């Protein structure tokens, strides 16, 4: 009897099959960047990213909402949440302090905006870049899971329409986090899995 595949092991990472089975392309025109707004905590950040956020704060400052500026002055750019994780500071119990809004109500990341304009050297926290993937670090491996959330349903619809799987859409952040060699192994594993089990 053939053993059932429940996840993919790529080097020292265990990857959820959602990354290959699910179609995904962020559809910002529909969701308006809701993932930067809704939630009970800020975006997970590393200690290094925390220091980077403090370093680039002067450049980002004028892009931030007045209320976010107040929160940062009082509490800083990050905090430890209820689960003991270091996360970005939030406004009104939900919005990331680095969230801003365009004229059409679309939420955007002030950090990413300035990076794309060539004004800072930091794209944004890797947890934001990887979303809807969530990483969990263990002593001997990293778990890579797909966060299922109703606000991303439109992204799954668009991904299916365009024939783009989650691992394909997230190529850039996955390479940023794990490296090109790791991603090449993931890509090959996904192709083999789809040949065997794909729809």
Q: pLDDT tens digits, residue range 81-131?
A: 888 889 999 888 778 899 888 777 777 889 999 999 999 999 999 998 998
H/E element, 134: strand 133-137
Q: pLDDT tens digits, residue range 144-160?
A: 998 877 777 778 888 88
Show me where the domains of the chain are located: 1-24+132-199, 33-122
For residue 153, which of 30, 41, 42, 15 has the smallest C-alpha distance?
30
Question: Is residue 32's pLDDT more than 60?
Answer: no
CB–CB of 79/97 below 8 Å? no
Q: pLDDT tens digits, residue range 35-52?
A: 666 666 688 899 999 999
CB–CB of 153/147 below 8 Å? no
Q: pLDDT tens digits, residue range 157-175?
A: 888 899 999 999 999 999 9
* Cis peptide bond upstream of 45, omega within 30: no
Query: From the CB of residue 58, how many other CB atoms can be counted at a distance below 10 Å?
Result: 8
Question: What integer is the mean pLDDT of 74-78?
Answer: 94
Where residue 2 falls among pLDDT bands split at 50, 70, 90?
very low
pLDDT score recorded for residue 104: 75
């Amino acid at each position: 009897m053939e053993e059932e595949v429940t996840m993919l092991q790529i080097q020292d990472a265990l990857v959820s099959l959602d990354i290959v089975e699910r179609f995904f392309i962020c559809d910002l025109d529909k969701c308006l960047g809701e993932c930067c707004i809704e939630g009970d905590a800020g975006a997970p950040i590393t200690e290094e990213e925390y220091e980077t956020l403090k370093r680039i704060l002067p450049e980002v400052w004028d892009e931030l909402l007045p209320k976010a500026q107040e929160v940062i002055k009082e509490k800083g750019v990050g905090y430890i949440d209820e689960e003991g994780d270091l996360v970005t500071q939030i406004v009104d119990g939900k919005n990331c302090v680095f969230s801003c809004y365009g004229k059409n109500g679309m939420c955007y990341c002030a950090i990413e905006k300035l990076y794309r304009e060539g004004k800072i050297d930091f794209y944004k926290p890797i947890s934001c870049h990887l979303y809807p993937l969530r990483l969990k670090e263990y002593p001997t491996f990293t778990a890579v899971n797909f966060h299922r959330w109703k606000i991303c349903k439109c992204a799954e619809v668009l991904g299916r329409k365009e024939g783009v799987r989650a691992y394909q859409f997230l190529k850039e952040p996955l390479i940023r986090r794990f490296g090109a060699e790791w991603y090449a192994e993931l890509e090959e594993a996904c192709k083999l899995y789809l040949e065997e089990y794909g729809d």
